[in-house]
Structure 1
Amino acid sequence: MRLASLLDRALSRGRVLVRTGEPALLVVAAVIGCLAGVAVTVMSRLAQWLHVVLFAIGRDDFLSATTTITPSWRVLATAGGGLLLGAVYLLFRRSQQIVDPIEANALHGGRMSLRDSLRVAFEAVVSNGSGASVGLEAGYTQLGGAMASRIGQRLHLRRADLRTAVGCGAAGAIAAAFSAPLTGAFYSFELIIGVYSVANIAPVMTAAISGFLVAQGLGAAAYTIEVPDSLTLQAVDYPPYLILGILAGLAAIAIMRLVTLADIAFQKSRLPRAIRPTVGGLLIGAMALYTPQVLAAGHGAMHLNLVQAVPVGLLLTVLVMKIASVAVSLGSGFRGGMFFASLFLGALFGKLFAMGVTAIVPTSSIDPAAAAIVAMSALGVGIVGGPLTMTFLALEATGDLAITGIVLAASLLSAITVRELFGYSFSTWRLHLRGETIRSAIDVGWLRGLTVGRMMRTDVRTVLATMPADAFRSLFPLGSTQRVVVTDADGRYAGIVLVAEIHSAPASSEDETIQPFCRHADKMLYPSMSAQAAAKVFEMAESEELVVVDGSSTRQVVGLLTEAHLFRRYAEELDKARRNLAGES
């Protein structure tokens, strides 16, 4: 009992320190980064172990870099992984939709389920380990973000700090995976938190560096991107690469559309959800018989195609088959993301572009390796998002500042192309298909939480519509109130009457009731309405005050809301969000 009391007291003291002091938050960020580094190491080693066991490759070899899968029956391992995933889907068929870090930060103030995220990590390892054409990055960031969210909730962090903590988990995971702290940090800024500010730079960078160092110390096999050292670029070389950036944006849109079509095709196939991954695994295995480069995320295949001279026909074939395998993998239900797959596809696309330019203009000085790096980043931006994330990835992979400028320019053009013609990255597009409307991780959950039920006042005085007008004038003299809510004999909302209007009306028969003076009988609010929806009703009703009812059928009066109070509360919440963004207390 004494030990438990001491632990509770220490935890309480820690909560106070974290909520009031930035140095304590940095310690928490470092712990989160370390945990993310450990998670990345464990998951990557489990996936590699599955590659070794299922496909009989060397312990240090990459699955997608093998020449052939021998014996050929081993390609059935992907279908076996799909069968295991199907069993998991059956087991959790009644569970709710799992919230990812972007959705958590945009809508739920950084709250994630650690139990659900462990399941996502397991499914990602099974998918990648069995050869499905998906990456582990989605599992990395899911688990890193969920661990950070659990720690933040135990420490009772404020909403803004909890969102930053989730960003720290993702930053540590990506930094550990790619041995790239800047890439991890800006992945968090651009994709998970949605903004770069003075308030979040220190904890996120701390987490990214911690994750990187822990993964290095544990000997994790990072997703290195090796390129030739002889990359030279001058100002006159920029135009072809800028065109490549735009084309990469268009290619990103086409790939995202294709993945969606594959998803729809599997849904319309009437195959049970638990069977779809098995069918998808069979299709991927069939493609792997031609070239194993379609398997897993493609780290080994990326290296092969970047450093070796590959014929145009083979490059094009691998590009088409890799796109098809990614679409089949995600459409059939394998768990994973497109982070590294988009980099691999971009590298292939860039080399093909360089070969095409050289064939058309033999005097062109375009460098195939440089084009591969530029397209890798630009296509990654188009699919994943984050121009600075991909720019820092290129910088940390190549160590070449000369190419970084053109990578940033091409990435920005790709981002603009996708935003103008499509509007979503792959992460937010998948959410859009589920019915969400968010386009980034910027916090909009507070706005959805600002409902009519939270803003209305409940001390509403009502009168019956059958009340005589003379009795009403006696009960509500001029100046006592402006409006009175009217109900029928069953307590159902019947409208609002203006006290001044009844007093100004000429007196008539004693039988006259207040019924003819009722206004806005068909304009009402509901407790679950958001502030935006309520503002539209006020605009249509042209009224300063509206009644809140419990439902459209029962119409029982539960509250009253004024337009002035609605906009005042909206302005207060908006100012709070601005202050959180600026790092003000």
Structure 2
Amino acid sequence: MTALLEHLRTHKTPARWLAALRALVRTDSLWLIVLAAVTGILAGLAVSLITFTTLLAHNLLAPGYKRLSGLEHVAPWRALLVPAMGGLLLGLWHFYLQRHNRHRPVDPIEANALHGGRMSLRDSLIVTGQTILSNGCGISLGLEAGFSQIGAAFGSRIGRNLRMHRADVRLLVGCGAAGAIGAAFDAPLAGAFYAFELIIGSYAFPLLAPVACASLCALAVVHVSGETLPAIAVPLPQSVPVLAYPLLAVLGGLCALIGVSLMKSAAYMEQVFATCIKPVWLRPMVGGVLVGGLAIISPTVLSSGHIAMREGLVTPPLLGAALGLLLLKAAASTLSIGSGFRGGLFFASLYLGVLGGAAFASVVAPIMDLPLGLCTVAGMCALATAIIGGPLTMILLTLETTHSANLTAAVALTALVSSFTVKRIFGYSFATWRFHLRGENIRSGVDVGWMRTLTVGRMMRTELDILPADTTVASARTTFAGRMPRYIVLHDNQNHYAGLLESNLIQSITIAPDQPLSALVDTNMEVLAADFSIGHAVAAFERTARPALAVTDRNNHVLGILSERYVLRRYAEELERTRRELAGEKHGR
């Protein structure tokens, strides 16, 4: 601290203050923890403000009652009108953004995977505002998308303003998301491992201090603001019978199937809305009317379902009620996503898991009388794992929410079975599934953006030895007498690429001197484009089994050549750099 104060006294302009702080952060990891704490505080403030604003908006549906999913009934005209008007506002907002050519916002996972943690604070504020509007009018989605988006954006902005290293910016993005999720669920460990599993992409001990610090700071802010729910007392058994574990494994597999069905249904519902309702701005209003109709049947489908989830844990519903509520909530959530509302399935998956666990306990009662509380807690963890994709995050969240440490083995079993089943039959979480639908091959927040920035154009060699394709072998030997290059590029009369020749062929005594060089070229003349990524280049070398390939433009003019040896060396260097960053071994710290 003394060093920082001395810097601030001697450098009085804001730019120099930033430079001084940047130097301290790069030389002492303690200052990175300070920045993580600041990020966590900002995330906690954002969670408090978003929660307060959304609960205030809920008065439109139920005056004097802020937690919509805990309602026993809702006025039909309010249930239809408020979500419809909210959908109309959201649709017009979408239409305005499209007309002004706003690009698609980048979420924290995509930012860390492809963009080195770079996120737009303005875009993130738009996403957060749309999430508040969606949840505020009662739509069946959670606020976690807005929470993590704005928290991560704060971390990204701090890192970018300080011009920090790519790995440190990605870490601060993870700190922001950890703070947001930890504060939202009153579960700091779950928030921290949400960042490790989903945003950063791996766990490393040197990263634990800043991520945990951010999560704890955000939680402290939310507690001070009073935007938390009281703890719940879930009736749970003191021990789990040994024979219950096989049934719990079955529950984990069933929850995985429910999760996959829900994710596919959401994508299918988007296609249905796109086909049936051409005006994009009209889709959310129609979706709002449909969700409102379901809310007339049961208000538990409204909003995120957090209160309904807590009530389900305390007093689990019986088979008929559990199945009915599960179908209603699943339908409301898929309608909400399909019609274009903003939000996530994190909260919804917890409630759906509670209902699935309650139904499962009733079904297996003739085989074994499993405690309802055990099945609801295990189902909550398993279904959330299937949809969100972070088994350790969900295990910790379940244990922190229910304070049921004696059920750790049972909860972990269902989570792991669910995770394994989803990977085997589907391969995506909800977030990565939506990336897949957009054509992005992203499975986590692990940094793979370097594969796109490291292009063929940046790696190719532009100093070339070029000859006409009709040049004879004897002429080529004379041209390169005393200096024989490894590769010779051939071109035709129009200066188009005609082949790549290894020089050892023209040195061979078995080749006739009067033979043209074009006769020595392999008929497989696959080429690379300058904008190809290193992944494309590696795939091309594996496909052709050639030691080098030419790089050409759209007119088939030669730009350079790239050798497989160089590509593999660069690929190995980047993988090693990424491995060091994941292990926390970076920049001399």
Mark yes or no: TM-score above 0.5. yes
Q: CA deviation at 1:262?
A: 1.2
**Which residue, out of 440, 443, 454, partners 1:439?**
443
Q: Deviations over 1:388-409 (max 9, x none)?
A: 1111111111222111221111
Which residue in 2 is equivalent to 1:238?
Answer: 245
Q: Deviations over 1:154-191 (max 9, x none)?
A: 11121211111110000000111111110100111111
Q: CA deviation at 1:226?
A: 2.5
Which residue in 2 is equivalent to 1:121?
Answer: 128
Which residue in 2 is equivalent to 1:546?
Answer: 549
Verify the 8 A CA contact 1:495 1:518 in the aligned structure 2: yes
Verify the 8 A CA contact 2:79 2:296 in the aligned structure 1: no
Taking a change above 3 Å as real, the CA distance of residues 279 and 3 of structure 1, as seen in their structure-2 partners, is: farther
Alpha-carbon distance in structure 1 between the residues aligned to 2:434 and 2:314: 34
Q: Which amino acid aligns with 2:401?
A: A
Q: Deviations over 1:73-105 (max 9, x none)?
A: 453100111001101111111322221111111
Alpha-carbon distance in structure 1 between the residues aligned to 2:76 and 2:553: 66
Q: Which amino acid aligns with 2:553?
A: D
Verify the 8 A CA contact 2:317 2:355 in the aligned structure 1: no
* Structure 2 portions without partners, runs of 5+: 1-8
Verify the 8 A CA contact 1:105 1:163 in the aligned structure 2: yes
Which aligned pairs between 1:492-531 and structure 2 lie closer than 5 A? 492-503=496-507, 504=509, 513-519=516-522, 522-531=525-534
Which aligned pairs between 1:134-283 and structure 2 lie closer than 5 A? 134-222=141-229, 226-236=232-242, 237-283=244-290
Which residue in 2 is equivalent to 1:422?
Answer: 426
Alpha-carbon distance in structure 2 between the residues aligned to 1:390 and 1:564: 44
Taking a change above 3 Å as real, the CA distance of residues 262 and 507 of structure 1, as seen in their structure-2 partners, is: closer
Q: Deviations over 1:273-296 (max 9, x none)?
A: 111000000101111111111110
Q: CA deviation at 1:483?
A: 2.2
| DSSP-derived class of the 1:92 partner | helix
Please, which moves more after superposition, 270-279 or 526-535?
A: 526-535
Alpha-carbon distance in structure 2 between the residues aligned to 1:149 and 1:445: 16
Alpha-carbon distance in structure 2 between the residues aligned to 1:182 and 1:279: 39
Which residue in 2 is equivalent to 1:400?
Answer: 404
Which residue in 1 is equivalent to 2:17?
Answer: 10
Which aligned pairs between 1:368-407 and structure 2 lie closer than 5 A? 368-407=372-411
Q: Which amino acid aligns with 1:299?
A: H
Verify the 8 A CA contact 1:191 1:440 in the aligned structure 2: yes
Aligned length: 574
Q: CA deviation at 1:478?
A: 5.6
Verify the 8 A CA contact 2:236 2:404 in the aligned structure 1: no
Which residue in 1 is equivalent to 2:4?
Answer: none
Verify the 8 A CA contact 1:378 1:410 in the aligned structure 2: yes
Q: Deviations over 1:40-85 (max 9, x none)?
A: 0111111100001x113325x4111112113634531001110011
Please, which moves more after superposition, 70-79 or 438-447?
A: 70-79
| DSSP-derived class of the 1:274 partner | helix
**Which residue, out of 304, 309, 326, partners 1:297?**
304
Which residue in 1 is equivalent to 2:537?
Answer: 534
| DSSP-derived class of the 1:275 partner | helix
Q: CA deviation at 1:382?
A: 0.5
| DSSP-derived class of the 2:561 partner | strand
Verify the 8 A CA contact 2:116 2:166 in the aligned structure 1: yes
**1:111 and 2:118 correspond:** yes
Alpha-carbon distance in structure 2 between the residues aligned to 1:323 and 1:305: 16
Which residue in 2 is equivalent to 1:560?
Answer: 561
Q: Which amino acid aligns with 1:398?
A: T
Q: Deviations over 1:226-248 (max 9, x none)?
A: 24244322342333222211211
Alpha-carbon distance in structure 2 between the residues aligned to 1:478 and 1:538: 30
Verify the 8 A CA contact 2:357 2:380 in the aligned structure 1: yes
**1:90 and 2:91 correspond:** no
Taking a change above 3 Å as real, the CA distance of residues 507 and 230 of structure 1, as seen in their structure-2 partners, is: closer
Q: Which amino acid aligns with 1:516?
A: A
Which residue in 2 is equivalent to 1:490?
Answer: 494
Verify the 8 A CA contact 2:201 2:446 in the aligned structure 1: yes
Which residue in 2 is equivalent to 1:57?
Answer: 63
Alpha-carbon distance in structure 2 between the residues aligned to 1:418 and 1:225: 31
Verify the 8 A CA contact 1:18 1:155 in the aligned structure 2: no
Please, which moves more after superposition, 17-26 or 493-502?
A: 493-502
Which residue in 2 is equivalent to 1:459?
Answer: 463
Q: Which amino acid aligns with 1:77?
A: V
| DSSP-derived class of the 2:467 partner | strand
Verify the 8 A CA contact 2:236 2:374 in the aligned structure 1: no
Counting aligned pairs with the same residue, the percent is: 43
| DSSP-derived class of the 1:546 partner | strand
Q: Deviations over 1:132-169 (max 9, x none)?
A: 00000011001111111111111112121111111000
Q: Which amino acid aligns with 2:166?
A: R
Which residue in 1 is equivalent to 2:3?
Answer: none
Q: CA deviation at 1:17?
A: 1.4
Alpha-carbon distance in structure 1 between the residues aligned to 2:320 and 2:270: 28
Alpha-carbon distance in structure 2 between the residues aligned to 1:255 and 1:342: 9
Q: CA deviation at 1:109?
A: 1.3
Taking a change above 3 Å as real, the CA distance of residues 263 and 563 of structure 1, as seen in their structure-2 partners, is: same
Q: Deviations over 1:312-367 (max 9, x none)?
A: 33322211111100010001000000001000011111111112222x24xx3411
* Structure 1 portions without partners, runs of 5+: none
Q: CA deviation at 1:469?
A: 4.2
Which aligned pairs between 1:332-343 and structure 2 lie closer than 5 A? 332-343=339-350
Q: CA deviation at 1:473?
A: 2.1
Alpha-carbon distance in structure 1 between the residues aligned to 2:495 and 2:11: 54
Taking a change above 3 Å as real, the CA distance of residues 521 and 414 of structure 1, as seen in their structure-2 partners, is: closer
TM-score by length of 2: 0.93
Q: Deviations over 1:425-460 (max 9, x none)?
A: 111111111111221112211222222112111112
Q: Which amino acid aligns with 2:95?
A: L
Alpha-carbon distance in structure 2 between the residues aligned to 1:520 and 1:157: 49
Which residue in 2 is equivalent to 1:318?
Answer: 325
Alpha-carbon distance in structure 1 between the residues aligned to 2:107 and 2:470: 55
Verify the 8 A CA contact 2:472 2:513 in the aligned structure 1: no
Q: Deviations over 1:203-235 (max 9, x none)?
A: 10010001101111111134x672424432234
Taking a change above 3 Å as real, the CA distance of residues 311 and 243 of structure 1, as seen in their structure-2 partners, is: closer
| DSSP-derived class of the 1:548 partner | strand
Alpha-carbon distance in structure 1 between the residues aligned to 2:409 and 2:147: 29
Q: CA deviation at 1:492?
A: 1.2
Alpha-carbon distance in structure 2 between the residues aligned to 1:147 and 1:157: 14
Q: CA deviation at 1:470?
A: 3.7
Q: Which amino acid aligns with 1:104?
A: A
**1:573 and 2:574 correspond:** yes
